[in-house]
Structure 1
Amino acid sequence: MEEVEVAKRRCKSVIDQIERLPSSTNITRSSKQTLFKLALSEFNFLSRSSIAHPLSVNIGHLEAVLFVLQHPFISGVSRVCKPIKNGFKSVHVDVVCTFQKNPVWILVSDRNPKYVSWNECRKSKGLKSRVEEVLAAARSCETLRPRKVILFFSHGVGESVRGRLEDEFGALEISLSEFDSCDEVEDGWVNVPSRSFREACVLEISLDFSGNNASSLECVVKDVTFAAEGSNVRGENASVNFGGSFGSIVSQMKLYSMGEPDHLQSDGNLVNFDTTALIALVSGISNGCAEKLLATSEIELRQRFKGNVQFVISQAMSELQNPIHEELRGVFAGKRGIICESVLSEFTELVLMCGGPNEKLRANQLLTCFIVVNDNPSERLMGLPTTRKLALKNKVVFGTGDHWHAPTLTANMAFVRAVSQTGMSLSTIEHRPRALTGD
């Protein structure tokens, strides 16, 4: 039947879109596998010759989920179409991810608005009951706790139901900007959505968790200096003279002013830097020494870098092919950088021990641009068990960024993967690693 063939083509389109989800989603492998299984199950169902009712009841839901996943503000996708346990009960959540730097749960409805009932009826327990269950689970959940629950109605929602959501749960309508009909994605592919979502209605419900207000965290500013000739310690930013690509990229940051209030307000423009990010910025490899390193004899390299020679060589080759300062330029523009006390301590120790005169000078200059905040990790990240892969020091660093609603710039993808495997969504920005060279 023609209707069956149309539905099967929609399934194939969904499978193709799953394969080509943008890398910016950072979707976990298990989440992709879940989507594949659901789409294949639907396709297999439609392929059976004994189908009496040809139209699929699930393919539209998968299309709506994929539409949400392709939105540019979606990242850190850690769970898709799986239940979350709440005591002895489980609640179904369609997407656990980060949206606009906030951890969120997203519920997707592909139902006709006429059949979205508020109270329990013969065929449904009602939207009110479902939202109550999800919010209760969200508030009681520790490690997967979201800051918001988002409701995505792909066909819109009736005025009566919308009014109830606003009055009883404080829901606010937001915009998930409509994608163009054709968008170019990675590797030159063109993504053509299988249907339009112009009628979609998106509502968000904020969860108020005590003790999680980033604006109440007090900042500390410390003077740090390294033993390098001509070094410049923390002072008025206007007096710092940056040079080269290092100066160009750092000059794009919104700098700290000594006249600012003691309390930093989270304005959505914060980026949390871990130690790997700071090292990458000041490393000699990132600042013009890559060719010199590759021209150095293997004997001398082994004397300097011991067993890390291949690691350093690969970084130098990577730098020549794709300079890291250029890669990070967009991350810095108009952003305000923060580092926690643990990162400041570790970075200081590493530069003093392994950095050369120029790297120490750049480190001094770089630290003038950051606000140092107290170690104050979020409860949800500290709620994860401390293991070899989920080390306490990393939970403190990434958790402090999470507490400030700031993505963490890092090369420590082993920790990021370990967190995603727990099902938690974490806002991060990946960069390629760089080492100190003694430059």
Structure 2
Amino acid sequence: MKEQRDAEVELAKQRCRFVIDRIQELPASSKITDSCRRTLLKLARSELSFLSRFSSCSSSSSSAAAAATISTPLSVNIGHLEAVVHILQQPFITGVSRACKSVPLLPTVRREESHCSSLKDIHVDIVCTFNRKPVWIIVSDGNPKYVSWHRCHKSKGLKLRIQEVLAAAQSSLTLRPSSVILFFANGIANHVHKKLQDEFGASEIGLGPSVFNFDAFEESEGDWINILARSYKDACILEIKPTGSKDVVSGLDHSVKGLTMDSARPEVSVEKTEAQLQLSVEDCEANLADTFRSIVLGLELCSLNIKNLESSDPGNYFGDIDLINFDTTALIALVTGISNDGGVQKLLAHPESEMRVRFKGNYEFVVGQAKSDIQNPILVEFSRLLCGKTGIICESVHMEFKELVLLCGGPNEKLRADKLISSLRVVPDCPSERIMGLPTRRKLAMKNKVIFGTGDYWHAPTLTANMAFVRAVSQTGMSLSTIEHRSRALIGD
């Protein structure tokens, strides 16, 4: 029996080590914040530490203590962490702002809901962006046989848990998700599944075959051998819309202060007009570099007919169209002479003294960008990223970009700016309610709230180098869909 228990503990320790490796490999660029990574690592290392103490105790010299340890059921949480990390590895999950942490309940909700009266916060496994929309994900790795619908001596019951989560979802303006996703790693009993459908309007969603496979490999004498194989083929994934539930708080006042907007939101109908809007290759070849031209031609062109109609979910009007929201930094990076027409070589060919006079205190900054572009051309990144996308910019970005190009841009940069703008669609400033609900301060300036909030309203990730704003938003716990790029400056080319 001792040998069997030792084997169980060793296997659990291997799983912990593998999960720790996977957490460290999660992409930070657009996937997960450092804070989330630290939280997950702390939990995994704590579990590994517990298992190490457990095995030490079982091999202690005291036979009585060892016997007591062996007879105690081995309770581990590594399965839950495996499932959380596995979800985080999926490509459709982005903008992870919280992992295995709690979100606050408003005091008004705690007063009005008797079952939440003593509740201060709600545990959520993942706060992220899924299919361009903010979601909360709750993960269960328990045996379906022991998932109780009603309260019992061992559990508060799944019904009450869902009620509390949905109450928190409706109470939070800035963290409010468009839906709550339930991931039952080992499936769910039929009667519980039906209860979730009938009482909370839950519906199944399919996330593709990659979600249901989990494999761990270890190198042994030059060959890779499978040490862990876990399948989520029995997993059940359900989605609940907070507004569609019968059992959550409603009627909260979420008025937005600091910006006056019409209550009606623009509705978009999409009509392809490539014959009308398509840039001619000949026109581009005359003045534009090949890579920039391919990016402009690779953007999907469509006509957005803005109507003053109320819309509950504007992102749905685009159907399968893949939107991307540009902030000013992205537009500058695309048109700058640093990135185009061999501008780097031309720039660095000038004497340093001349360059210092030209760029003054920005000399080191500009040269650093130029050398960075030699090592890793930014337009190559943009070409892969933007092909087939429909680009949008809000009015604020449009005006700011035009002013900057007019003041600082050279003739070639101005030409590229005109070509780029003609391939994008300009939409009104219409920041989402949840972004506008964030407090306005230095790192959360109103201008940036409008820019990023407009992308959030259209469920479009914002392409940006403004990571100070992105970090400030993530520190609030909000999930925001963004794509980071390296900064570039106009050089008067």
Query: If the length of structure 1 is used for normalisation, what is the TM-score?
Result: 0.89
Q: 1:397 aligns with which of 451, 455, 458?
A: 451
| 1:123-138 correspondence to structure 2 within 5 Å | 123-138=154-169
1:112 corresponds to which residue?
A: 143
| 1:322-401 correspondence to structure 2 within 5 Å | 322-401=376-455
User: How far off is 1:207 after superposition?
Assistant: 3.5
Query: Is 1:205 the equivalent of 2:228?
Result: no
Query: Is 1:80 the equivalent of 2:116?
Result: no
Greater alpha carbon shift after TM alignment, 164-173 vs 356-365: 164-173
Q: Give a deviation string over 1:132-165, Cα, whole Å, max 9, x none.
A: 1111100110111111111000001112111221
Q: Which has the higher contact order (CA 8 A, sep 6+)?
A: 1
Aligned counterparts of 1:421 and 1:337: Cα–Cα separation in 2: 28
Aligned counterparts of 2:166 and 2:94: Cα–Cα separation in 1: 22
2:284 corresponds to which residue?
A: 242
Query: Is 1:140 the equivalent of 2:171?
Result: yes
Aligned counterparts of 2:284 and 2:485: Cα–Cα separation in 1: 22
Q: Given the superposition, is the C-alpha separation of residues 216 and 75 from structure 1 closer, same or farther in structure 2, using an over 3 Å criterion?
A: same
| 1:118-197 correspondence to structure 2 within 5 Å | 118-179=149-210, 195-197=230-232
Match of 1:78, SS? strand
1:287 corresponds to which residue?
A: 340
Aligned counterparts of 2:173 and 2:241: Cα–Cα separation in 1: 16
Aligned counterparts of 2:243 and 2:12: Cα–Cα separation in 1: 42
Q: Given the superposition, is the C-alpha separation of residues 326 and 191 from structure 1 closer, same or farther in structure 2, using an over 3 Å criterion?
A: farther
| 1:217-256 correspondence to structure 2 within 5 Å | 217=266, 236-240=276-280, 241-243=283-285, 244-256=290-302
Aligned counterparts of 1:219 and 1:153: Cα–Cα separation in 2: 36
Q: 1:303 aligns with which of 348, 357, 379?
A: 357
Contact map agreement 1:285 1:434 (CA 8 A) in 2: yes
Contact map agreement 2:30 2:484 (CA 8 A) in 1: no
User: How far off is 1:242 after superposition?
Assistant: 2.5
Q: CA RMSD in A?
A: 2.6
One-letter amino acid of the counterpart of residue 59, structure 1: I
Aligned counterparts of 2:355 and 2:14: Cα–Cα separation in 1: 57
Match of 1:242, SS? helix
Aligned counterparts of 2:121 and 2:386: Cα–Cα separation in 1: 41
Q: 1:261 aligns with which of 305, 320, 344?
A: 305
Q: Given the superposition, is the C-alpha separation of residues 25 and 167 from structure 1 closer, same or farther in structure 2, using an over 3 Å criterion?
A: farther
Q: Give a deviation string over 1:160-207, Cα, whole Å, max 9, x none.
A: 1112212222212112323365699xxxxx998752222111111124
One-letter amino acid of the counterpart of residue 37, structure 1: K
Q: Given the superposition, is the C-alpha separation of residues 191 and 142 from structure 1 closer, same or farther in structure 2, using an over 3 Å criterion?
A: farther
Aligned counterparts of 1:182 and 1:43: Cα–Cα separation in 2: 19
Q: Give a deviation string over 1:401-435, Cα, whole Å, max 9, x none.
A: 00110000011111111111111110001111111
One-letter amino acid of the counterpart of residue 363, structure 1: A
Contact map agreement 2:106 2:172 (CA 8 A) in 1: no
Q: 1:94 aligns with which of 89, 112, 125?
A: 125
User: How far off is 1:82 after superposition?
Assistant: 1.0
Please say which structure displays the higher CA radius of gyration. 2
Greater alpha carbon shift after TM alignment, 26-35 vs 235-244: 235-244
One-letter amino acid of the counterpart of residue 246, structure 1: F
Match of 1:149, SS? strand
Q: Given the superposition, is the C-alpha separation of residues 30 and 261 from structure 1 closer, same or farther in structure 2, using an over 3 Å criterion?
A: closer
Aligned counterparts of 1:182 and 1:3: Cα–Cα separation in 2: 18
Contact map agreement 2:394 2:451 (CA 8 A) in 1: yes
Contact map agreement 1:64 1:110 (CA 8 A) in 2: yes
Q: Given the superposition, is the C-alpha separation of residues 262 and 78 from structure 1 closer, same or farther in structure 2, using an over 3 Å criterion?
A: closer
Q: 1:30 aligns with which of 18, 35, 58?
A: 35
Contact map agreement 2:30 2:482 (CA 8 A) in 1: no
One-letter amino acid of the counterpart of residue 140, structure 1: S
Contact map agreement 1:61 1:108 (CA 8 A) in 2: yes
Unmatched runs of 5 consecutive residues or more in structure 1: 185-189, 221-234
User: How far off is 1:211 after superposition?
Assistant: 10
Q: Give a deviation string over 1:53-106, Cα, whole Å, max 9, x none.
A: 352331111111111111111111111111111035211101111112111110
Contact map agreement 1:389 1:414 (CA 8 A) in 2: yes
Greater alpha carbon shift after TM alignment, 311-320 vs 202-211: 202-211
Q: Given the superposition, is the C-alpha separation of residues 8 and 93 from structure 1 closer, same or farther in structure 2, using an over 3 Å criterion?
A: same
Q: Give a deviation string over 1:30-62, Cα, whole Å, max 9, x none.
A: 211111121122122222216453523311111
Contact map agreement 2:461 2:483 (CA 8 A) in 1: yes
Q: Give a deviation string over 1:318-352, Cα, whole Å, max 9, x none.
A: 11222211101222122111100110110010000
Q: Given the superposition, is the C-alpha separation of residues 25 and 398 from structure 1 closer, same or farther in structure 2, using an over 3 Å criterion?
A: closer
One-letter amino acid of the counterpart of residue 162, structure 1: H
Contact map agreement 1:105 1:146 (CA 8 A) in 2: yes
Contact map agreement 1:3 1:54 (CA 8 A) in 2: no
Identity of aligned residues (%): 59
Match of 2:452, SS? helix
Contact map agreement 2:215 2:229 (CA 8 A) in 1: no
1:67 corresponds to which residue?
A: 86
One-letter amino acid of the counterpart of residue 74, structure 2: L
Q: Tell me the matched-pair count.
A: 417
Q: Given the superposition, is the C-alpha separation of residues 77 and 382 from structure 1 closer, same or farther in structure 2, using an over 3 Å criterion?
A: same
